[in-house]
Amino acid sequence: MPSKVMKIGIVCPYGWDAPGGVQAHIRDLSEYLINAGHVVSVLAPAVDEELLPSYVVSAGKPIAIPYNGAVARILFGPIAFARVRQWISQGDFDVLHLHEPAIPSLSLLACWAAEGPMVGTFHAASKKQKAIYAIGPILEPVIEKLSARIAVSEAARSTLTDHLETDAIVIPNGIYASKFAAGKQKEEWGGNSLGFIGRFDEPRKGLSVLLDALAQVAKSIPDLRVLVAGPGDSEEVLEGIDLQLRKRITFLGRLSEEEKADFLSSVAIYVAPNTGGESFGIILAEAMAAGTACVASDIPAFVSLLGDGRWGALFTSEDSADLALSLITLLQDDEVRLNLAQAGQIHAEVFDWDNVASQIISVYEMATVGGRRVRLASDSRPWNRFISREAK
């Protein structure tokens, strides 16, 4: 049992049923805290309430909106606000942990609805003047209610600073490093294979950049293969690709967590060709933990995560020729590739939940100094001002 058992309310802004890094982070953090003896309740939008874990409470069905180059499934409005207030009033929480409280979803509603110890974690990295931050004048005084602010990376911290002129402590996303280190090498995924995991029909995930590099790499690596895992329309992706190159590409669909660990342990190189919109890169941390060499685009989040090339190779974002050169160099030199993989695996320990959760718990303890508890706010004027603004 922990030295101090806390009742922790965690708010997820995105649909629990949809795959996503924020949802995975909240799930792993919640289960880590519960296993450590704390009492945790998560409030989240959800489509199928019957499939929710026992610690998750549904606030209703989310709606889909375009956001940051993807589709976000969020929940907002008077009915959601009422459900948030009810959850807070019944929870008797020591602390609220609000994820992405700067977007119009449940975390922002909870920040409006509550008073007392509140911690906000900011995941997003996006360019300034995004439309979703247009409510800044109303948002800023609400964000000031937070007892502490966490950003998952320097890129997320910079986004927070640019949009809201406030700061945060950087605590990275967490992984179970030992789980990925224990992945089994599968022969069918081995050899000179390149791995990619993600929603490959989203342009910002950059699969097209990898496929554009394929012809050049194949000239130097005759037995090259590309293994793609995740949701998307494979037929649409393959349109326009030379038939000989198509034979080198295999789509695996969604992988379970166990399959993902085996996949990352098996491929020769994990490739993250993302073109932007990433604040951390959890899959790169997992690939490093699996002992696999990583090659990633030089977007800010990945440069930071890979130590500017110390723990993984970087190529110029959206430059398929530069990506091809990096891949050929590593595939032709086993020693360099294995040394890079080993360095990455050692560094990946900093992302293990034992390290990450202890930092988050320290923030909780700081936020709860003085013995205050979370309660419903007596002043809901920020919410009323927002409703009045939307009605005009």
Averaged over 361-390, what is the pLDDT? 79
pLDDT digits (tens, 9 = 90+) for 108-151: 999 999 999 999 999 988 765 454 445 566 677 778 899 999 99
Distance CA 153, CA 171 (A): 7
The per-residue pLDDT for 299 is 94
How sure is the predictor about 159, in pLDDT bands with cuts at 50, 70 and 90?
Answer: confident
SS3 at position 359: helix
What tens digit of pLDDT does each residue of 277-322 get?
A: 888 999 999 999 999 999 999 999 999 999 999 999 999 999 999 9
HSE of 329, CA atoms in CB hemisphere, 13 A: 15
- Which residues sit opposite 295 in a β-bridge? 271, 313
Between these two residues, 242 and 268, which has the higher pLDDT value? 268
Amino acid in position 274: N
- Pick 52 or 165 by higher pLDDT: 52
pLDDT of 344 above 50: yes
State residue 131's pLDDT score: 44
The pLDDT value given to residue 283: 95
Residue 369 has pLDDT above 80, yes or no: yes
Q: What's the rounded Cα separation, in Å, for the pair 167 and 320? A: 36
Q: What pLDDT does 227 receive?
A: 98
73 has pLDDT over 50: yes
Looking at residue 317, its pLDDT comes to 97
CB-neighbour burial class of residue 254 (10 A; exposed 0-12, middle 13-18, buried 19+): exposed
- Structural domains in the chain, CATH included, are 7-174+352-391 (3.40.50.2000), 177-351 (3.40.50.2000)
Q: How far, in Å, CA of 314 to CA of 306, rounded?
A: 8
| Confidence at 224, pLDDT banded by 50, 70, 90 | very high
- Beginning with the edge strand found earlier in the chain, give each strand of the sheet holding 313-315 in spatial order: 249-253, 225-229, 193-197, 269-272, 293-297, 313-315
**Whole-number Å distance between alpha carbons of 260 and 275:** 23
> Contact 101/111 with Cβ under 8 angstroms?
yes
Contacts of 23 (CB under 8 A, 6+ apart): 12, 14, 15, 16, 44
3-state secondary structure of 127: coil
Q: What does the mean pLDDT of the chain come to?
A: 91
Helix and strand element counts for the chain (H, E)? 16, 17
